[in-house]
Amino acid sequence: MALDPVTSTAGAANLQASGISEQDFLKILLTQLTQQDPLKPMDNTAFVAQLAQFSQLEQTQQISDGVTNAIAIQTSMQSVDLLNKTVTVTSGGGATTSGMVTAIDFSGGAPLLTVTPTVGQAMTGVPLSQIRGVQ
């Protein structure tokens, strides 16, 4: 679900969408200041607005990074909590299988579970999205 910002950050969003880094922005700003006409300097209000937009962009990126880290930690905690518990897993064809979570692989971006049913081979690489129930 997308949330609307409380204040307008269109300028910051434009900078972020264009892929301009902090260093790029500072180079542009420095070039702008050195190339301006000394008889017609940049309006102070516009200058402060540009700095504020960049500050908003940096804060938005920090918040985004924090949220991403929090989600990763929460997902890891959920998967660790499933260790040695019996879960119901759906396969690609829609069939369900029950088994115990015996291992977790964190080597990829998201945790992948190993689910060992009472009869049959262990299923490896099971993402949390395939877990339909915990017993």
Summarised one tens digit per residue, pLDDT across range 27-57 is 887 887 788 777 777 677 877 787 788 788 8
Helices (H), 82-112: none
What CATH code is assigned to 82-134? 2.30.30.30
Q: Which residues pair with 104 in a beta bridge?
A: 113
CB of 110 closer than 8 Å to CB of 128? yes
Instruction: Note whether 60 and 7 are within 8 A (CB).
Output: no
* 69 CB neighbour count, 10 Å cutoff: 10
For the residues 61-84, what does the mean pLDDT come to?
A: 91
Q: What is the pLDDT of residue 17?
A: 54
Can you list the positions of beta strands (E) in the chain?
A: 86-90, 96-105, 112-116, 123-127, 131-134
Section 91-114 average pLDDT: 87
Cβ neighbours for 28, distance < 8 A, ≥ 6 positions apart: 20
